[in-house]
Structures are given as structure tokens and as C-alpha cells.
Amino acid sequence: MGLSVQKTISLKPYPRGFHLITEEILEKLPELRQIEIGMLHVFIQHTSAGLTINENADPTVRKDFETFVNEMIPESYPRFIHTYEGADDMPAHLKSSFFGNSLTIPISGGKLNLGMWQGIYLCEFRNRGGSRTLVLTAFGQ
């Protein structure tokens, strides 16, 4: 018999940067432990933040992500015309599109089947993005 669960959760506000949120997701979705084989889909309902999977041990990786994307898409780009919500807004939209708004992760034995050094990142691209909303959908048997 299959199991499906969907929850909409609010993350605490994070400062601009890349933040590990794997444990926060797992805490808010205990039903995942009941799934032997399945998938978790994580979707962020925002256009100025993103999601990715990467290094979960060394925090300098997250700092380097921040440094690189800010150099790649600077707030000082003179041709942006969508500036109504501040200098960080349009760059945040572009960064969100580059990183994406969803992840799909296998579930095996009631756990996320991530690699040893992998974690789920919230990519916060705004200076004051506030609380972010995720839709978590887990399904399997």
C-alpha cells in the first residue's frame, strides 16, 4: 500500500546566503520515515530564493557560492529596469532561475538517499527575504 503526504511549511527567516535546511525539512516531515521506497519533492513558492543540493560539511563552500553568484550577477548591473523593490530584487530573480525552485530526492528505508556530503540548501538571494514557504510532497511505499 502506498503513502502520500503533502505539507506546506514555513522556514524561519534566513539572512542572505546559502543555508543548510535538510534537518529543518526532516523535522517537519516525520511521515517520511514510513516510506521504504519513494521520492520527496521540495518546491519553494518564491521567485527571489532557490534550492540546490551541495556540500553539507564545510561552511566555506556556502560562502564561496555566495561570493561567486554575486560576482556573476551583481546588483550594480546598470541595465536592470525592475528595481522597484530594491537593488537586490532583480538579481535575486535571476539567481532563483539559475538555481531553480524544486528538488526531487529519493527516499530509501525511511531516509533521504542523499550522498554522504550532500545537504539541501535554501539559497536566499534577498537582503531581507523573510520567511520562505516550501511545499513538501513525499510519496512511495
The span from the CA of 126 to the CA of 78, in Å, is 18
Q: Which residues of the chain have pLDDT under 50?
A: none
Answer whether 0.75 is exceeded by the pTM: yes
The span from the CA of 8 to the CA of 44, in Å, is 10
Q: With beta carbons less than 8 A apart as the criterion, state whether 101 and 44 touch.
A: yes
The confidence score (pLDDT) of residue 24 equals 98
The DSSP call for residue 30 is G
Complete domains list, the chain, with CATH: 3-140 (2.60.120.460)
The span from the CA of 105 to the CA of 98, in Å, is 19
**Residue 35: how many CA atoms within 13 Å on its side-chain side?**
24
